[in-house]
Structure 1
Amino acid sequence: MASSTKDELLEDSRTDSGIDSYRSILKSEEPQRPSGDFSSSGSRDKLSAGEERLDSAYNSSSITVDSLTEIVKDLNLAPLQQQQEPCPEASEQDDTLLTTITEDGDTLLHLAIIHNEVEIAQELTQIFPKEVLDIQNNLYQTPLHLATYLNLTSVVKDLVNKGVSLELQDQDGNTALHLACQHGLVECASEMTFSRSSLSTVLKMQNWRGLACLHLAALYRQHQIMKLLMKNGADLNIQEGTSGKTALHIAVELHDVTSVKLLLPGADMDSAMFNGCTPLHLAVGRQDAAIANLLCQSGADTMLRNMEDETALDLADGNDDIMALFPFDDIQISGRSVANVTF
């Protein structure tokens, strides 16, 4: 995909982060964008090891952990809407802080989460209105994305209780729940799946790789997450967007017997990929007799053909263990056909 096309796709998919609408409510000035050095080597190491850097403000913000603490202390910690006698100076200061964004799009809440300042993040979550809590930085990450990635369950819970959107996607198309499914963050996933009216929509959403939450859980063998998603109504037969695989196809490809057993009671075992292959085709093609047997015992159709006009048996390639699973109706003895013979 060309760079311009990707940028357009990201822009089209990004919902209003809330800062523009909230600025109009506050009628505040253009947000300040501090510059300077951001030094927290511990957090930097944690966020940079093997992953794309989450903190888009490193080396670009003068706000440090110490200054974050001082800023929060100076704020009126009562929710803005409950302030009965607002002080003009305090109100102006609060409004400025609410709309302060670094040059890379991070709010104070983003920065507090990145530095694992849980108490500060919780205080800011209570202070900030929902419009600010849903702001996405330049990597399209909301505070919920960051809190989930860092497994800050208490922050995730507070954000969810404040009604933040679960549907916002980062630059890879992942919602926060996608991240929890990929990394096996069960407690964070539990908070996001508990009594959420928008959950059914989120469970159907695909990232830019075409993967829904259940696909990611299966791909990374997150069995506990899979159980949680299934309990909350995830569609077991949803197809990923590139080749039409279901979670069962993915589990078979990975030779993951545990996932196959989890999915089989409710999944369509005859669901076909875009090329016509069923899970049984994949199991036989990968010479996995154990999973092929599970599928056959569960009633998988052995006669279905893919777009190459092949049945699963055609892919057995002489494997006796697998061929023994299939009935034959074309065996002849003394010129007479013998039906329903099984090796």
Structure 2
Amino acid sequence: MASDDCRKDDLLEDNRTDSGIDSYRSILKSEEPREPSADFSGPRDKISTGEERLDSAYGSSSITVESLSEIVGGCTLSSAQEEQAQSSELSEQENLLTTITEDGDTILHLAIIHEDTFISQQLIQLFPKEVLDIQNNLYQSPLHLATYLNLIDVVKGLVEKGSSLGLQDQEGNTALHVACQHGQIECATEMTREVSPSKLAPVLETQNWRGLACLHLAALNRQYQIMKLLVKKGADLNIQEGTSGKTALHLAVELHDVISVKLLLSRGANVDAAMFNGCTPLHLAVGRQDATIANLLCQSGADTMLRNMEDETALDLADGNDDILALFPFDDIQISGRSVVSVKF
């Protein structure tokens, strides 16, 4: 029943929304970085998605940290004549540059995983755009990895070289999704700075495999600065997630997040947006007995008489809560939330 949906546990406890919401958080916050191993036999802290590593070939590659510098140092951008004059040793080094490991990683993936900004930037200049967009077996592009690790300069270099913002990883997340999820405001800024609205709009509308667009992830993770950035860049405030039709305002209400609710309402979010079952944000606020947010919604003009698919108004869900009931006008006599006769004084 829709009333049950309106009263269900907060969205953060509902694992249907986005299985990736916490999947990388332990990597970025709980582990102290260490210097990378020279031979990959004892790699730096693993970066994982659940039980899978971001660098799917990190322990199996024969490329060492030292060899990264040697390989890149021996290769430069050159003319066709210069390329013909290159030694056989240089040709071998170039082959290493274009090698893809058994798990789909390029040398650029590996350089980023080692958080070697200098070598990563050299490789970005050396490689054509097509190589920059290679995805490994976990469908992670170099831009995904640079964003996970908050390597702002690398993200900037990739974007300036033309790396695609629309590539999706195994969770359906674009690199901008990742930035929104983890609060990487600088990375998000670089990804949206010089991008035309026509190119950025499809990215802002892209949903991951859990049906969440960038604004949804930012709202779920209380990333207020990123929410402001997305709205400034033209994100649809009323875009519905794909599983139940919630907007960012619905999600904020479910989280009891007053700051997000105020932010979204001030930017023009539809206060009466309906989920697939007809529940408005006010239905959700009343169902969760949140008088503070219910009051904010009413002050913003929420329609108290809208009915969901179970024919319930928000008043029907008040369940005798005096704080909630005080928000509703009693200009009419009502039975079960239905107006019977208007009383004139």
Please report the TM-score for the alignment, with normalisation by the length of structure 2.
0.82
Off by >4 Å, runs of 4+ in structure 1 = 48-52
Q: Percent identical across equivalent pairs?
A: 73
Question: Does residue 1:258 correspond to 2:256, yes or no?
Answer: no
Structure 2: runs of 5+ lacking an equivalent: 1-38
Change (3 A) 1:50 1:138: closer
Mapping of residues 140-151 of structure 1, within 5 Å = 140-151=139-150
**8 Å contact kept, 1:98–1:132:** no
**8 Å contact kept, 1:130–1:164:** yes
**8 Å contact kept, 2:71–2:93:** no
Q: Distance in 2 between matches of 1:187 and 1:193?
A: 10
Q: What's the CA shift for 1:83?
A: 5.9
Identify the residue that residue 69 of structure 2 maps to in structure 1: 69
Higher relative contact order by CA 8 Å / sep ≥ 6: 1 or 2? Answer: 2
SS at match of 2:87: helix
Question: Does residue 1:189 correspond to 2:193, yes or no?
Answer: no
**8 Å contact kept, 1:39–1:64:** no
Q: What's the CA shift for 1:340?
A: 8.2
Aligned equivalent of 2:298, options 273, 283, 296: 296
Change (3 A) 1:62 1:95: closer
Change (3 A) 1:209 1:270: same
Counterpart AA for 1:220: N
Structure 1: runs of 5+ lacking an equivalent: 1-36
Deviations 1:188-225 (A, max 9, x none): 00000112131111000000000000000000111111
Mapping of residues 1-343 of structure 1, within 5 Å = 38-41=40-43, 43-45=44-46, 47-48=47-48, 52-76=52-76, 79-80=77-78, 82=79, 85-86=82-83, 87-89=85-87, 92-93=91-92, 95-197=94-196, 198-265=199-266, 266-328=268-330, 329-330=332-333, 339=343
Q: How many residue pairs get matched?
A: 298
Q: Distance in 2 between matches of 1:84 and 1:313?
A: 79
Q: Distance in 2 between matches of 1:331 and 1:186?
A: 49
Q: What's the CA shift for 1:131?
A: 0.6
**8 Å contact kept, 1:331–1:339:** no
**8 Å contact kept, 2:204–2:214:** yes
Please report the TM-score for the alignment, with normalisation by the length of structure 1.
0.82
Counterpart AA for 1:54: L
SS at match of 2:229: helix
SS at match of 2:249: helix
